[in-house]
Amino acid sequence: MAELRGSAAAKEIQEQIIKRLEEYKNSGDYPGRVPRLGIVRVGKRQDDIAYENGAVKRIRSLGMEAEVFEYPEDISNERFLKEFKSVNDNKTIDGILLFSPLPASLDERKILDILNPEKDLDGLTLFNQARLYRGEECGFVPCTADAVIQILKHAGVELTGKNVAVVGRSPVIGKPVSMLLSCEDATVTMCHSKTKDLKDICRRADIVVAAVGRPRMIDEGYISEGCIVIDVGINVDPDGNICGDVDYDSVSTKASLITPVPGGVGSVTTTILASHLLDAAIKGAGR
Ligand code: NAP
């Protein structure tokens, strides 16, 4: 078994960002301009704040800017729409990270309909979802789903013709990662809580992507010898430890490659966000 850490893929993408950012600054198209991220957060969810801190640190360490727009949990729908519109229309902001789900009192669909698809770095808008569905590469896809593909590619895993079981069908991970893998010519089975014979499906797969949100659910009974296992999960176990959706200790005895948690997919996601921000700036999304 080899451990597939995210740091190597992240480092390669960061090197590309530094080079591309230099080209962007020297191009003369946008004199003095530095790509700027707007992070929109409602409330103080601990996991949102943890991701936000990591994202701000990563963006700044790569020479770009980030600004946080924080709103109280009880903000009215009308007020939030107005505030969000002003961030969206702000010409100094090239890309937006909107934490979702929003509180139930806010009309998330309406807010996503306002979000400029060219600033939608996490591929939440219908426009970007349609681009992914059509296999068009020009749109933004969710950063975590993109991170899964980049880790596999960086490790030199050939995806063409491979059988992949994706466990989870959420709009932010399971569905987009399934579409992206299909675009890479893999044969994808997208599984969910009503899937029958889940263990058999996973055991037949060359690659298992776990995005289920259940601590250590995928154990060695789901995995065949030599399988490649990508663990997207980030959970806190009853002892307060961070763990994935995969039971690392038992699965690592069978897998040929496995991502750890922490240190796997999660460690690439903020770098992908930075890369998407630069893409948006290069396309001139702010203007
Ligand atoms: P989610 O919205 O709760 O979706 C979970 C999916 O798993 C659903 O499709 C659900 O099926 C399926 N599922 C639940 N129990 C199942 C079972 N027993 N058997 C088979 N399928 C089952 O979660 P998510 O937002 O996709 O997140 C998934 C995991 O990724 C979480 O651990 C989350 O913390 C983590 N995450 C990681 C990152 C990162 O950067 N690494 C980013 C975001 C999230 P149904 O559709 O039938 O309900």
Domain that holds residue 189: 143-265
Please say whether the beta carbons of 71 and 80 come within 8 A: yes
- Measured CA to CA, the distance from residue 202 to residue 99 in angstroms comes to 31
Quote the number of domains for the chain.
1
User: Residue 203 has what pLDDT?
Assistant: 98
In ligand 1, the atom with minimum distance to the C-alpha of 261 is: 41
Please say whether the beta carbons of 186 and 160 come within 8 A: yes
User: Residue 280 has what pLDDT?
Assistant: 97
Q: Is residue 97 a part of any domain in this protein?
A: no
Q: Is residue 216 a part of any domain in this protein?
A: yes
CATH number of the domain encompassing residue 203 = 3.40.50.720
Residue 14, SS3? helix
Ligand 1 site-directed mutation target among 53, 192, 231, most atoms within 8 Å of CB: 192
Structure tokens at 277: 């921000």
Q: Is residue 104 a part of any domain in this protein?
A: no
Please say whether the beta carbons of 94 and 274 come within 8 A: no
Which residue type is seen at 201?
A: I
Q: Is residue 45 a part of any domain in this protein?
A: no
**What are the tens digits of pLDDT across the range 157-168?**
999 999 999 999
Please say whether the beta carbons of 209 and 264 come within 8 A: no
- The DSSP element (H or E) to which 24 belongs, if any, is helix 7-26
The residue nearest atom 1 of ligand 1, judged by CA position, is: 170
Q: Is residue 154 a part of any domain in this protein?
A: yes
- Measured CA to CA, the distance from residue 249 to residue 86 in angstroms comes to 48
Ligand 1 site-directed mutation target among 121, 193, 269, most atoms within 8 Å of CB: 193
- Measured CA to CA, the distance from residue 20 to residue 46 in angstroms comes to 33
Q: Is residue 231 a part of any domain in this protein?
A: yes
- Measured CA to CA, the distance from residue 287 to residue 111 in angstroms comes to 20
Ligand 1 centre from 167 Cα, in Å?
8
What are the angstrom distances between the C-alpha of 186 and each of 10, 129, 149, 224, 261? 23, 19, 11, 18, 25
Residue 214 burial (C-beta neighbours within 10 Å; 0-12, 13-18, 19+): middle
Q: Is residue 200 a part of any domain in this protein?
A: yes
CB atoms within 10 A of CB 199: 13
Ligand 1 site-directed mutation target among 173, 190, 195, 235, most atoms within 8 Å of CB: 173
User: Residue 94 has what pLDDT?
Assistant: 97
Ligand 1 centre from 75 Cα, in Å?
28
User: Residue 216 has what pLDDT?
Assistant: 97
Structure tokens at 61: 């360490």
Q: Which residues of the chain have pLDDT under 50?
A: none
Ligand 1 centre from 212 Cα, in Å?
3
User: Residue 108 has what pLDDT?
Assistant: 97
User: Residue 3 has what pLDDT?
Assistant: 96
Q: Is residue 1 a part of any domain in this protein?
A: no
User: Residue 209 has what pLDDT?
Assistant: 98
**What are the tens digits of pLDDT across the range 264-281?**
999 999 999 999 999 999
